[in-house]
């Protein structure tokens, strides 16, 4: 099988889960390779996401590792055999891999939860808002690169639309609502768009107001992506060097708890909608 130059985050996740299964079963890489009838280098490539794995080989490995979680194995098989070439593929070679990985992750998500403190979450942004965010980059982007990023961000909205929509919940701090990344008119339009989206069937928007007492969760910004099973969930966090994808189960459990705490501190959806509407009228 052809060796990949740069595995996607989804391909890497499959590789990581296979390695975790092997390590949990107590097999060395050499032992597992022998059971599979391949050399250790081939197994290493599978566990590094550099080459794929067939359904037959994956199920054989699971059997050797005495994994009896059939639902989990079926989910891994689906990841291994998926040949989806989604809309994000048109950006391959034009945008860096994390842009594509996030879009692919969202495409396969069962639900999406976001917590943001300084920016409106990406899928909820208007074109003008997104353009202002990307235009502030240092070094500055060329007009063509700027438009490319904005167009990609706008296409991510598919997760909120029609038959492709998934349950989406965003918790947004008042700071993000008040910071005017563009001009006053664009900010007003962005807030109006938030109110509109918050009324969609599968979209929930909650607000954390400045005057909330006892709130110390301002470092808990995250995107929580629900997988086919909870153990295949992923947390995405932005950092100085770009997006970080987090998937160890103990960390996932900690982020689940953190989201519940932040959600519990926020206003309910109706009060949040009224809050955003009131802010828009102030502009």
Q: Is 2 inside any structural domain? A: no
Evaluate whether residue 187 is within a structural domain. Answer: yes
Q: For position 240, what pLDDT does the model report?
A: 61
pLDDT in tens, 62-94: 999 999 999 999 999 999 999 888 999 999 999
Overall domain count for the chain: 2
Residues 101 and 48 occupy one common structural domain = no
Q: What angle do CA 4, 88, 101 make, to 5 degrees?
A: 55
147-186, pLDDT tens digit by residue?
A: 999 999 999 999 998 888 999 999 999 999 999 999 999 9
> CA of 180: how far to CAs of 138, 139, 186, 201, in Å?
19, 21, 8, 28
Q: Which tens digit of pLDDT belongs to each residue from 182-201?
A: 999 999 999 999 999 999 99
- Give the pLDDT confidence score for residue 48 in this predicted structure: 95
25/118 same-domain check? no
Q: Position of tokens 């502030």?
A: 136
Query: 76 and 109 share a domain?
Result: no
In a domain, 120, yes or no: yes
Q: Which of 47, 81, 115 is the last residue of a domain?
A: 81
Tokens of 36: 């599979």
Span 214-255, pLDDT tens digits: 999 888 899 999 999 999 999 999 876 678 999 999 999 999
Q: Where are the beta strands (DSSP E) in the chain?
A: 111-116, 168-173, 203-208, 222-226, 234-239, 242-246
* In a shared domain, residues 96 and 230: yes
pLDDT given for residue 180 in this prediction: 96
pLDDT interval class at 17 (50, 70, 90)? very high
Percent of the chain with pLDDT over 70: 98
Structure token pair of residue 136: 């502030």
Is there a contact between 131 and 146 (Cβ–Cβ < 8 Å)? yes
**Domain assignment present for 4:** no
Last residue of a domain, one of 27, 61, 81: 81
With contact defined as beta carbons under 8 Å apart, do 120 and 190 qualify? yes
Do 153 and 50 share a structural domain?
Answer: no
Asked whether residue 37 carries a pLDDT value surpassing 70, the answer given is yes
Of 56, 81, 106, the last residue of a domain is 81
71 and 165 fall within a common domain: no
Residues 75 and 125 in one domain: no
Per-residue pLDDT at 1 exceeds 70: no
Task: Check which CATH number belongs to the domain holding 132 and give it.
Answer: 3.30.870
Q: 100, 108 in Cβ contact below 8 A? A: no
Residue 187 lies in domain: 87-282
By DSSP bridging, strand 222-226 and strand 234-239 are: antiparallel
Q: Are residues 103 and 77 in the same domain?
A: no
Are residues 124 and 248 part of one domain? Answer: yes
**Residue 1 maps to a domain:** no
């Amino acid at each position: 099988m052809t060796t990949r130059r740069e595995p996607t985050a989804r391909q890497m996740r499959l590789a990581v889960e296979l390695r975790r299964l092997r390590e949990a079963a107590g097999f060395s890489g050499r032992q597992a390779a022998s059971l599979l009838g391949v050399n250790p280098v081939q197994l290493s490539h599978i566990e590094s996401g550099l080459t794929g794995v067939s359904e037959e080989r994956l199920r054989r490995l699971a059997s050797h590792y005495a994994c009896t979680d059939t639902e989990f194995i079926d989910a891994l098989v689906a990841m291994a055999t998926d040949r989806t070439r989604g809309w994000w593929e048109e950006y391959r070679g034009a945008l860096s891999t994390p842009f594509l990985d996030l879009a692919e992750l969202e495409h396969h998500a069962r639900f999406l939860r976001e917590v943001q403190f300084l920016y409106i979450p990406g899928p909820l942004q208007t074109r003008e808002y997104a353009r202002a965010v990307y235009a502030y980059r240092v070094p500055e982007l060329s007009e063509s690169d700027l438009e490319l990023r904005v167009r990609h961000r706008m296409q991510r909205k598919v997760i909120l639309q029609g038959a492709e929509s998934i349950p989406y919940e965003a918790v947004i701090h008042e700071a993000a609502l008040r910071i005017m990344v563009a001009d006053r008119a664009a900010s007003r339009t962005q807030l109006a768009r938030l109110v509109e989206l918050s009324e969609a069937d599968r979209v929930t928007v909650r607000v954390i107001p400045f005057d909330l007492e006892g709130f110390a969760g301002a470092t808990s910004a995250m995107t929580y992506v629900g997988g086919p099973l909870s153990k295949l969930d992923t947390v995405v966090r932005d950092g100085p060097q770009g997006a970080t994808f987090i998937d160890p189960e103990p960390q996932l459990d900690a982020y689940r708890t953190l989201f519940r705490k932040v959600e519990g501190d926020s206003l309910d959806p109706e009060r949040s909608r009224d809050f955003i509407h009131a802010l828009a009228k102030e502009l």
